[in-house]
Amino acid sequence: MDAIDVIVTKREGRELSGEQIAWVVDAYTRGAVADEQMSALAMAILLNGMGRAEIGRWTEAMIRSGSRMDWSALDRPTTDKHSTGGVGDKITLPLAPLVAACGAYVPQLSGRGLGHTGGTLDKMESIPGWRASLSNDEMLAVLRAAGAVVCAAGDGLAPADKKLYALRDVTGTVESIPLIASSIMSKKIAEGTGALVLDVKVGSGAFMKNVDTARELARTMVELGTDHGVATVALLTAMDRPLGLAVGNALEVQESVEVLAGGGPSDVVELTVRLAREMLATAGVNGPDPENALKDGSAMDAWRRMITAQGGDPDAALPVSAESVEVTAPASGVLSRLDAYGVGLAAWRLGAGRARKEDAVSFGAGITLHAKPGDTVRQGQRLMTLHADDAGRFERALGALDGAYEIGQATGPDLLPLVIDKITA
């Protein structure tokens, strides 16, 4: 095989063969294909797209670049959830133990935040003692003890994706739906779970800004999962406003615990329960209803077992920021808009996120919301509280919020429904 021949095939809009795809992904992972050549191929894929069979072959090649996990030793079905990311999206935290409490095993491999979207591992690491890095044997032990595990993916899982994603990030090819779908699904399929529910976010705070492109991505990923023998469904969910009332690592852990205790913001509870039901149904588990598991304490019990099994202390105090500033309503009326991206950017500037993968995060930093779109507010009323360890961060965070919210007359805001659509095979 020759890299130039593969590039030209896709540049001319022709379909790549299985042999071409298997060779080029393997050769790039080994270093036999140069970054310049793979970046040219990625651009050709972005411009000319891929058919369903091509994307499937590409995803299979990514999976074969590393190891594939096996949960056949477990005595109950496995199911997992993947979110494309958003602002205040802490759903994995209450969801994993909730589904475990209802009768399925949840092996949840998660990532860290970058930019304005938060990362599940960063949130969990705000819990004193909790460990993200586990061996496969440790994951199995936690699953057997708690029913759910949330941890980092090992280096052996789809290593081709890690290398290719870094290249796409610096060559303007991140937006290719075939490459996005294969990136997500190669890791999820290699994870070995029997069922998968995808939460594809839509709106200003999400990667997908409109419903049509989000639906295309969701459909592509559902097809990939189905073609690889993983029962897969996707929900399109709203990210035009923040999810819940907390944005930031320790703040979101606290809100998740409130949900597990039977309280919490209504949108977080609603989406957590809906996703739990989808995960259980997709896995073929007919157990207790998730709503009841939140009320009777069984989900909280599973959370405490999971945190303890990973070295954390579920009773320990969470980090609190050293400084805070309040943002108040400039006028009376209805909060008609609260832009998810603006809030996420502000939280990032407060220290809750990172600009580079090597950066540290401030666990106590973030934003507490005191009103959501549709709420009636009075002039001078608190809209949000900003938290940071360094008071010098407030000016830039407030700049990110300039124009991110509006107060209008007593009419309801034009918001996306929390769950927009469901995509099945």
pLDDT(356) > 80? no
Q: What is the CATH number of domain 79-315?
A: 3.40.1030.10
Strand arrangement, sheet containing 246-247: 246-247, 366-369, 382-388, 323-328
Closest to 327 in 3D by CA, of 310, 346, 348, 303: 346
pLDDT(388) > 80? yes
Task: Give the residue-averaged pLDDT of 35-58.
Answer: 97
Question: What is the domain partition of the chain in residue ranges?
Answer: 3-49, 79-315, 323-408
- Per-residue pLDDT, 413: 77
Q: Is the dihedral of CA 43, 48, 52, 53 positive or negative?
A: negative
Task: Give the residue-averaged pLDDT of 295-308.
Answer: 98
- The answer to whether the 79-315 and 323-408 domains have the same CATH topology is no
Closest to 237 in 3D by CA, of 403, 84, 103, 48: 84
- Per-residue pLDDT, 96: 98
- Per-residue pLDDT, 117: 83
- Per-residue pLDDT, 253: 98
pLDDT(410) > 90? no
- Per-residue pLDDT, 154: 83
- Per-residue pLDDT, 355: 76
Q: What is the pLDDT of residues 287-296, one digit of tens each?
A: 899 999 999 9
DSSP state of 158: -
Q: Which of 81, 90, 168, 372 is catalytic?
A: 168
d(CA 84, CA 179): 14
d(CA 244, CA 20): 46
Is 277 marked active-site? Answer: no
Q: Are strands 246-247 and 382-388 parallel, antiparallel or unpaired?
A: unpaired
Q: pLDDT band at 115, cuts 50/70/90?
A: confident
Tokens of 33: 């294909």
Q: Which of 161, 199, 267, 339 is catalytic?
A: 161
CATH architecture of 323-408: Alpha-Beta Complex (3.90)
Secondary structure (3-state) at 366: strand
Beta partners for residue 385, in sequence order: 326, 368
pLDDT(335) > 80? yes
The H-or-E segment that residue 201 falls in is strand 195-202
| Other C-beta atoms lying within 10 Å of the C-beta of residue 414 | 9
Give the chain's length: 425
Q: What is the pLDDT of residues 191-245, one digit of tens each?
A: 999 999 999 999 999 999 999 999 999 999 999 999 999 999 999 999 999 999 9
- CA 70 to mean position of chain CA atoms: 23
Is 168 marked active-site? Answer: yes
Q: Tokens 């400084």 correspond to what residue? A: 323
pLDDT(24) > 90? yes
Is 162 marked active-site? Answer: no
Is 81 marked active-site? Answer: no
Q: Which of 126, 182, 183, 336 is catalytic?
A: 183
CA dist 12 → 45, 49, 253, 381 (Å): 10, 11, 49, 59
Is 188 marked active-site? Answer: no
3-state helix, strand, coil in the chain (%, to 5): 45, 15, 40
pLDDT(155) > 90? no
Long-range contacts of 25-32 (CB under 8 A, 24+ apart): 25/58, 25/61, 25/62, 25/65, 25/160, 26/61, 26/64, 26/65, 26/160, 27/1, 27/3, 28/160, 28/163, 28/164, 29/65, 29/159, 29/160, 29/163
Nearest-10 Cα torsion for 423, 208, 247, 274: -10
Q: What is the CATH number of domain 3-49?
A: 1.20.970.10
* Residues 6 or more apart in contact with residue 122 via CB below 8 angstroms: 112, 113, 249, 361, 363
- Per-residue pLDDT, 409: 78
Phi, psi values for residue 275, rounded to 5°: -65, -40
Cβ 416 vs Cβ 238: under 8 Å: yes
Strand arrangement, sheet containing 195-202: 79-83, 195-202, 231-238, 419-423
Beta partners for residue 265, in sequence order: none
Q: Which of 10, 187, 228, 274 is catalytic?
A: 187
Cβ 232 vs Cβ 196: under 8 Å: yes
pLDDT(372) > 80? yes
Q: Tokens 């609603």 correspond to what residue? A: 270
Cβ 13 vs Cβ 48: under 8 Å: yes
> What beta strand segments (E) does 47-90 contain?
79-83
